[in-house]
Amino acid sequence: MAERIDRMNLNRIVPILNWAAGIMILISLVVIFFYAPVESTMGNVQRIFYFHVGGAWVAAVAFFVALLSGVFYLRKPAKIWDTIAVGSVEIGLVFTSMTIVSGSVWGRPAWLTWWTWSPRLTSITVMWLVYVAYFMLRGAIEDEDRRSRFAAVYVIAGFVTVIITYLSIRLLRDIHPVILGEASETAQGLQEFSGIDSGKMVISLNVSVLTFTVLYLTWLANRLRLQRLLDDAAELKTRVMTRLQQQ
Amino acid sequence: MTEENKLASGNLSYMATVRAIVWKDLTMEWHTGQILSVMLVFSLTAAIIYNFALYGSLAAARDASTGFLWVTILLAGTLGLNRSLMAEQENRSLEAILMAPIDRSAIYVGKVISVIIFTLAMEAILVPIFTAFFNKPFWRPQVLFILILGTIGYVAAGVLITSMTVQTRTREVLLPVLLLPLTLPVVLAAAQVTAAYVAAVPPEWSEVQFAVSLVVAYDIFMVTAGFLTYHYVVEE
Amino acid sequence: MMTAMILLNVFAQSGVVDPNKNNGYLILGYGVMWAIALFYVLVLANRQRNIREELHLLRQLLEEDEDSQNK
């Protein structure tokens, strides 16, 4: 499988994905602002929700892909798995940051505070920190194989923070609303907004999630191509060095 | 035969390997006292600092005491982990063990058990001290229970991560950066449960249920992750 | 305290709510979200540009070297 991914013609795939992502973003913005209904207790600011949730969901997917890549790398080392892991963690961090920041801005009018150390916000911050630390681990190891190996072990262990974050969102009574599933758990005035089972909101949410998924794949493809260029450059550099040494 | 010779001979079963590693660590600690001394000096100094940091307000100090306890365990734990696993590096005793055809996870289990013992020993000293300094009942059985549960998860993650960081250039500096965020979930949850049980009114089970389940789930996850991946951390 | 404030808010708002009241936050929220995304895009594009330049340079170096060796 590693060889098949390696051989993919990224130079053709990347531009296609770039266009697809751009179009999807435009479509989703139209859907969110013109198709989705106005929420009755919060008004238009609730529209942040669509990308907030989309980002959170795709971040989890990205970190899961990183975990899978780590497992594949450990079973049979191939550079492509390491690259997919690095790319996925980078992109996962971007989406997580987007989620945290958008949630904070939305929280200000909704709960009258920019931040609170509730279990869910705490756990997503911890998740963010764990994956930032991933890059410190990589930076501290010079040997390529060891770096990839340790990084793989780390993304596997670190995934516990993803599980905890998403579990706490679903299971805990918290200022942060439960969106899907039983509404009875956190129904408390502003914390649960009305009409989420309204079909239009669900469709808009799905469109956002799809958009972010395409965006993830696009960024990943770009990152893979970048790595290929970096590898080519490294190879050329060694050739130049050997030439210089011969002279 | 010394434990190391026994291990290197390759004649040991899995459980015997684990026991040999634990025994080796315990006897070495009995003779040198490196690990416990570092952990204790740090944690006792920290306890005194906390006491004086909130000297002005006794109530604030008592409220913060649970947090202090767990922060101390967290930080002293990194010291202990570093000492324990660097001792392997320095003595090259790990190389001798690795030459034998033992499943690498046995090394992981052995190290986790021995570090848990050291950390619990330190906690056994901290509990009466904290109870005395802050006048809170840290000796309650539920508190002791959650201390043990939390320590298991912390050490399980700690041995795995430390085994990686001792092989890097930046070692002691890198360990807290990697270990603290990763262990925050279990430490925060355990601290919450501790705080609930040292309060004047003991909590209902439903209040602490989620946090305790989280600690247990974390423990299971980390031990499993460490068990399965340790091979890739020590093998070259 | 928080709960009381929120419940009070709800009662005060039951019925008529101006949907555009918090539009400033809406724009701010979208703004920072996409600013972060844009930041990553720029970082990727920048790295790509740099590495392409480097590759071009390296290839040129090797070509010149080949030429001078063939002569």
Query: Residue B52 pLDDT more than 90?
Result: no
- At A192 the pLDDT is 43
Q: What is the pLDDT of residue C24?
A: 85
Work out the average pLDDT over B216-228. 96
What is the phi/psi pair of residue B79, to 5°?
-65, -50
User: Tokens representing C37?
Assistant: 């995304």
Hey, which residues does A43 pair with through a beta bridge?
A39
A75 touches chain B (CB under 8 A): no
The residue of chain A with its CA nearest to that of B233 is A150
Q: Counting beta carbons within 10 angstroms of the beta carbon of residue A195, is it exposed (0 to 12), middle (13 to 18) or buried (19 or more)?
A: middle
- Please report where in the chains the tokens 């570092």 appear, as a residue: B38
- DSSP 3-state of B204: coil
- Residue A185 binned pLDDT confidence (cut-offs 50, 70, 90): very low
User: Which chains are within 8 Å of A by 3+ CB pairs?
Assistant: B, C
> Residue B15 is inside which H or E element, if any?
helix B14-32
pLDDT band at A120 (very low <50, low <70, confident <90, very high): confident
pLDDT tens, residue by residue, C1-38: 676 666 666 555 444 567 677 788 888 989 999 999 99
pLDDT-derived band of residue A184, with 50, 70 and 90 as boundaries? very low
Per the CB < 8 A criterion, the answer to whether A232 and A75 are in contact is no
Chain A residues whose CB is inside 8 A of the C58 CB are 233, 236-237, 240
Give the pLDDT of residue B9. 64
Shortest Cα distance, chain A CAs vs residue C9, angstroms = 8
**For B101-153, how does the pLDDT look when each residue is reduced to its tens digit (9 = 90+)?**
778 899 999 999 999 999 999 999 999 999 988 889 999 999 999 999 999 99
Which is more confident, B200 or A42? B200
What is the reported pLDDT for A195? 47
pLDDT in tens, A191-208: 344 445 577 888 888 999
User: Would the CB atoms of C61 and A240 count as touching at under 8 Å?
Assistant: yes
The predicted model gives A93-108 an average pLDDT of 93
Mean pLDDT check: name the lowest of A51-65, A125-139, A153-167, B123-137.
B123-137
Which amino acid, residue B129? I
Chain A residue at shortest CA distance from B158: A157
Tell me the residue length of chain B: 236
Q: What is the mean pLDDT of residues A57-82?
A: 96
User: In sequence order, which ranges of A112-139 are alpha helices (DSSP H)?
Assistant: 119-139
Mean pLDDT within A135-156: 95
3-state secondary structure C2-48: HHHHHHHHHHHHCCCCCCCCCHHHHHHHHHHHHHHHHHHHHHHHHHH
Nearest to A187 by CA among B213, C19, C3, C17: C3
A247 versus B179: the higher-pLDDT residue is B179
3-state secondary structure of A39: strand
Residue A42 at interface with chain B, using a CB cutoff of 8 Å: no
Instruction: Give the ipTM.
Output: 0.90
Q: In sequence order, which ranges of chain A are alpha helices (DSSP H)?
A: 2-7, 10-30, 48-75, 79-111, 119-139, 144-171, 199-246
Fold topology of A2-187+197-246? Four Helix Bundle (Hemerythrin (Met), subunit A) (1.20.120)
Whole-number Å distance between alpha carbons of B13 and B106: 10
Pairs of CB atoms within 8 A across A/C? 115
Q: How many angstroms separate the CA atoms of A110 and A243, rounded?
A: 65
Q: Say what percent of chain A tops pLDDT 90.
A: 57
Characterize B74-99 residue by residue with b for buried, 16 or more Cβ atoms within 10 angstroms of its Cβ, and e for exposed.
Answer: bbbbbbbbbbbbbbbeeeebbeebbe
Domain borders along chain C are 29-71
Cα–Cα distances (Å) from A169 to A175, B188, B207, in that order, read 10, 16, 17
Contact B160, B229 (CB under 8 A): yes
Using an 8 Å CB-CB cutoff, list chain B residues near A161.
Answer: 181-182, 185
Percentage of chain B surpassing pLDDT 70?
91
Asked if C22 lies within 8 A of A243 by C-beta distance, the reply is no
**Residue A187: per-residue pLDDT:** 34
Q: What is the pLDDT of residue C64?
A: 84
Quick count: other Cβ atoms within 10 Å of Cβ B2? 10
Tokens, residue B187: 């430490």
**pLDDT above 90: percentage of residues in chain B:** 53
Considering only CB atoms, A157 lies closest to which of B157, B168, B170, namely B157
Are C33 and A188 an interchain contact pair (Cβ–Cβ within 8 Å)?
no
Place of tokens 């090394």: B107
Integer Cα distance of B112 and B222 in angstroms: 11
N residues, chain A: 247
Asked if C51 and A226 touch (Cβ cutoff 8 Å), the reply is yes
The DSSP-derived string for B184-201 is HHHHHHHHHHHHHHHSSS
